[in-house]
Amino acid sequence: MERTNDSMLTEFVLVGLSAHPKLQTVLFLLVLWMYLMILLGNGVLISVSIYDSHLHTPMYFFLCNLSFLDICYTSSSVPLILDSFLTGSKRISFSACMIQMFLSFAMGVTECVLLGMMALDRYVAICYPLRYPVIMNKGAYVPMAVASWVSGFVDSVVQTALAMQLPFCANNVINHFVCEILAVLKLACADISINVISMAGSTLILLVIPLLVVSISYIFIIATILRIPSTEGKRKAFSTCSAHLTVVIIFYGTIFFMYAKPKSKSSVGPDNEDIVEALISLFYGVMIPMLNPLIYSLRNRDVKTAVKNIKQRMVTK
């Protein structure tokens, strides 16, 4: 373990699944394939949202931001994960670890807030369809997206700055694939109560409040849909928000399973428990960004039509 002095680490070691080489090989191929699908799927959504004028609406503007966010999030962690699968134990400098932690945390918080903004957009679209173009104009939805990004980066600056002030005196081994903030805080040899309070406050503001916004929005959305007399009208109204609702359920469901599940009281050792938590985190960090473009495109006629139009333009050229 390298140190600059008695209280300052210069590097961490990301253990990952170094004790399971066969599993690492399988996961390397699987994660690499999923990462390529993330780049392809989200790249296609961004392209069609930009080049097809029919998709120049608030919903697709938010969707374009979500796709770009997923690419940035996975690109801040997946290359490190793939490298750890190849090398077993991955040494990473303290500064590089903090940068990677900052980016991942910022993207995660931004996605929480952005999903809340997207729920508001769907609420206005379904509950006030005639006033939707006036309410959700460019002067409204652009600042909403900007606020999502700013809130994520500001919160990450605060949490990362607090973590960097902690001394890491003895153990520099992180039982994870990446520099996940909770895994890093476990290694501190000082009181982390300030970090815990700060993260609890940010969780309340930037995770729970957006979830409340989503929940309240969908209560009004469902009430409005149930008042529509025709079955076809109900189906069309629900289809405009079903993709977003699916993404929200998967996103928040995985978060709560990761951080709110009770600790196991079985005979599973702490090392195995860390491995299970790391694998769950891997699902959260890679599987969800891969599913998002599939969820938004499989049942979306506009996106399918836009993709076909782009293909036709490429063929004719």
Distance from chain centroid for Cα 313: 33
Q: Yes or no: say if 37 and 31 are a contact pair by the CB < 8 Å rule.
A: no
Residue owning tokens 């700060």: 198
Instruction: Give the whole-number percent of the chain exceeding pLDDT 90.
Output: 49
User: What is residue 127's predicted lDDT score, i.e. its pLDDT?
Assistant: 95
At 158-182, the pLDDT tens digits run 999 999 999 887 788 887 888 888 8
Beta strand pairing call for 90-93 and 11-14? antiparallel
Task: Say if residue 261's pLDDT is above 60.
Answer: no
122 vs 114: CA distance, rounded Å? 12
Of 123, 157, 154, nearest to 140 by C-alpha is 123
Angle between helices 209-226 and 94-127 (to 10 degrees): 20
Which of 48-52, 197-201, 249-253, 300-304 is predicted least confidently? 300-304
Neighbouring-strand partners of residue 93: 11
Q: What is the largest CA-CA distance in the chain?
A: 73
**Measured in whole angstroms, how far is the alpha carbon of residue 162 from the centre of its chain?**
22
Count CB neighbours of 217 within 10 A: 23
Task: Quick: pLDDT tens for 209-244.
Answer: 999 999 999 999 999 999 999 988 898 888 888 889
Whether pLDDT at 207 is above 60: yes
**CA neighbor of 292 nearest in space, from 38, 46, 60, 32:** 38
Query: For residue 206, which phi and psi values (nearest 5 degrees)?
Result: -105, -5
Strand pairing report for 173-174 and 11-14: parallel
| pLDDT over 90 (residue 11) | no
- 11-23 as b/e: b if 16+ CB within 10 A: ebbbbbbeeeeee
- Rounded to 5, what percent of the chain is helix, strand, coil? 75, 5, 20
Q: For residue 3, what pLDDT is reported?
A: 42
The string of pLDDT tens digits covering residues 24-71 is: 888 889 999 999 999 999 999 999 999 888 889 999 999 999 999 999
Residue that the structure tokens 């690419």 belong to: 71
Task: Say if CB 159 and CB 181 are below 8 A apart.
Answer: yes
C-alpha distances out from residue 269 to 205, 273, 274, Å: 34, 6, 9
Helix (H, G, I), strand (E, B) or coil at 88: coil
Nearest partner of 77 among 202, 159, 174, judged by Cα: 174
Residue 256: left if φ>0, alpha if ψ -120 to 50, beta else—which one?
Answer: alpha
Round to whole Å and give the CA distance between 228 and 215. Answer: 20
Q: What's the pLDDT at 2?
A: 46
Indicate the SS3 state at residue 56: coil
- Per-residue pLDDT tens over the stretch 86-134: 776 678 899 999 999 999 999 999 999 999 999 999 999 999 999 999 9
DSSP state of 17: T
Instruction: Please name the residues in contact with 261: beta carbons below 8 A apart, sequence gap of 6 or more.
Output: none
Q: Is the backbone of residue 308 left (phi > 0), alpha (psi -120 to 50) or beta?
A: alpha
User: CB atoms < 10 A from the CB of 124, how many?
Assistant: 21
Question: How high is the pLDDT of residue 163?
Answer: 93
Strand, coil or helix: 91: strand
Structure tokens at 163: 């973590």
